[in-house]
Structure 1
Amino acid sequence: MARREPGQLEQAVLGIVASFGPDVAVPVAQVQARLPGSPAYTTVMTTMARLADKGALTRIRDGRAYRYRLSAPTGSIDDAMAARRMRQLLSDGADRAGVLARFVAELDPDEERLLADLLRREAGR
């Protein structure tokens, strides 16, 4: 199943959040104020919550509301979203060992080496 590309509103939101800098958590109202076409606050809020659920944004509680920042550098957002989806698939109650074994079995040799290198690097931390 192919992942859909972010829509225009999602792309605009990501661009605005990115414009504040990598470590700045932005409230929905500030993003809404910069969006063209004056979308409703609830539309922007829902879009940002969905981007957080997808792994593109990190949600930070601020009183009764949330602030959002990029979950990864701009060029790595797609990677963060793919990693979140992979994690969700592993958590769906399936046989995790079986799913991981099947995943590894379907890797080509270069991908296997890359995965082994990444696992070694993580184990060394």
Structure 2
Amino acid sequence: MGGEKDSRAPGPRARRRGQGELEAQVLSVLGTAHEPATAAWVQEQLGGGLAYTTVITILTRLHEKKAVRRTSTGRPILWEPVADESGLTALRMRQLLDKQENRGAVLSSFVSALSLDDEHLLRSLLNETSDAPTDEAES
């Protein structure tokens, strides 16, 4: 009775999500919406297992990171993506870089750690950006 232990074996533990994985899933779901969506809709699309409050917490964090925007001030609050998963990763990288005093050292370390293929891709992207006309050049 009171002192007896439960003889049932514990169920399998849920896999712990990697950092940012849930944010990426929420962004992905919002990206499939044809219009701004409620947190309840996001929760439903993600399938069972997530509490409504967890979805609200993730949406609020994404809002603070400027990856989603609130499109209404009343109830229910509607959410829409500003960035996709790649954009969210870029936001994180930029936020980390903004916290550093020596940006040059951080960027240099980042570039030196890239694979040769990634370095070529980065050079190509930088060349495309530098070749693009600027607003000043068009004036």
TM-score category, normalised to shorter length: 0.5 to 0.7
> 2:63·2:70 contact (CA, 8 Å) conserved in 1?
no
Give the drift of 1:49: 1.6
Give the drift of 1:89: 1.0
Q: CA RMSD in A?
A: 3.3
Larger radius of gyration: 2
2:51 partner amino acid: P
Structure 1: runs of 5 or more not aligned: none
- Is 1:63 the equivalent of 2:70? no
SS of match in other structure, 1:26: coil
> Normalising by structure 1, what TM-score?
0.63
Q: Determine which structure has the larger strand proportion and give its number.
A: 1
> 1:10·1:51 contact (CA, 8 Å) conserved in 2?
no
CA distance 1:122–1:67, change in 2 (3 Å): farther
- Indicate the residue corresponding to 1:103 in structure 2: 110
- Indicate the residue corresponding to 1:39 in structure 2: 51
Q: Deviations over 1:33-54 (max 9, x none)?
A: 66646834x4332121223456
Give the drift of 1:107: 2.4
> 1:58·1:69 contact (CA, 8 Å) conserved in 2?
yes
CA distance 1:113–1:62, change in 2 (3 Å): same
What number of residue pairs does the alignment pair up?
112
Structure-to-structure mapping, 1:48-59, within 5 angstroms: 48-53=59-64, 57-59=67-69
Give distance in 2, aligned partners of 1:103 and 1:15.
27
> Normalising by structure 2, what TM-score?
0.58
- Is 1:6 the equivalent of 2:13? no
Q: Determine which structure has the larger helix proportion and give its number.
A: 1
2:60 partner amino acid: A
Structure 2: runs of 5 or more not aligned: 1-17, 134-139
2:123 partner amino acid: A
> 2:63·2:69 contact (CA, 8 Å) conserved in 1?
yes
